[in-house]
């Protein structure tokens, strides 16, 4: 009986999303980047006309692809207006991952987005937290490609630290790329958990 239970638990561990629990995700980005549109497209699989977020929206979203299939993500979509950005750190504290939504067309505000992203990623409490950069509005003309966005946002600066990141081209209105992004973020979270476990083992030796 005991041996069978052991086998069952090993089998459960091997299943996608098994034993993971709910993933807590903070969704950040400048105002008008498309955060709320992305959240409700993930939640309801349809386009909902949204208004600027004053405060936050919170929804449970299920992963649909790869190892993230069936995993529950509790997503906190926080307002991106300048006066609300100091509140971001309240939502990123103890989070499993960060989704930073970017308007891929708005090159004029790319520097502003870079500043906010690096500030968030480099704050001590977010050290090593995986970041998904959702390069939104890829359906529009002049949308910057992921490799350009990596350069514009100075993502190599994150790599020199301990941050794990992924740039995902997406369109929040149609839903293209959103679940692929969630899957990529899930993989980064699992990778980070393994690294943390390994570090703890080394320290206890």
Question: Is 2 annotated for ligand binding?
Answer: no
> Is the separation of the CB atoms in 101 and 107 below 8 Å?
no
Q: Is 113 annotated as a binding residue?
A: no
Q: How many other CB atoms are found less than 10 A from the CB of residue 5?
A: 9
| 36 annotated among ligand-binding-site residues | yes
The DSSP bridge partners found for residue 77 are 27, 57
Asked whether 182 and 65 are in contact (CB, 8 A), the reply is yes
Task: Determine if residue 140 is labeled as part of a ligand binding site.
Answer: no
Closest by CA to 53, choosing from 72, 78, 34, is 78
Write down the catalytic residue from 46, 81, 168, 198: 81
Residue 177, annotated ligand binder?
Answer: no
137 appears as a binding residue in the annotation: yes
**81 counts as catalytic:** yes
Q: How far apart are CA 105 and CA 173, in angstroms?
A: 15
Is 80 labelled as part of a ligand binding site? yes
Q: Hey, what are 71's tokens?
A: 């995993």
Residues noted as catalytic: 81
Annotation: binding site for GTP? 29-36, 80, 136-139
Annotation: binding site? 29-36, 53, 80, 136-139
């Amino acid at each position: 009986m005991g041996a069978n239970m052991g086998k069952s638990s090993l089998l459960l561990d091997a299943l996608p999303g098994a034993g993971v629990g709910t993933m807590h995700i903070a969704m950040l980005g400048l105002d008008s980047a498309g955060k709320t549109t992305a959240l409700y497209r993930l939640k309801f699989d349809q386009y909902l006309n949204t208004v600027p977020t004053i405060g936050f929206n919170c929804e449970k979203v299920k992963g649909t692809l790869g190892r993230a299939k069936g995993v529950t993500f509790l997503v906190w979509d926080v307002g991106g207006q300048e006066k609300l950005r100091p509140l971001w750190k309240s939502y990123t504290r103890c989070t499993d991952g960060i989704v930073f939504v970017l308007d891929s067309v708005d090159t004029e505000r790319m520097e502003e987005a870079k500043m906010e992203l690096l500030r968030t990623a480099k704050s001590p409490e977010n050290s090593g937290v995986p970041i998904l950069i959702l390069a939104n509005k890829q359906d529009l003309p002049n949308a910057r490609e992921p490799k350009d966005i990596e350069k514009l946002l100075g993502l190599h600066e994150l790599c020199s630290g301990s941050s794990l990141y992924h740039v995902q081209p997406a369109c929040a209105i149609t839903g293209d790329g959103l679940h692929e992004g969630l899957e990529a973020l899930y993989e980064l979270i699992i990778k980070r958990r393994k690294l943390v476990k390994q570090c703890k083992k080394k320290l206890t030796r």
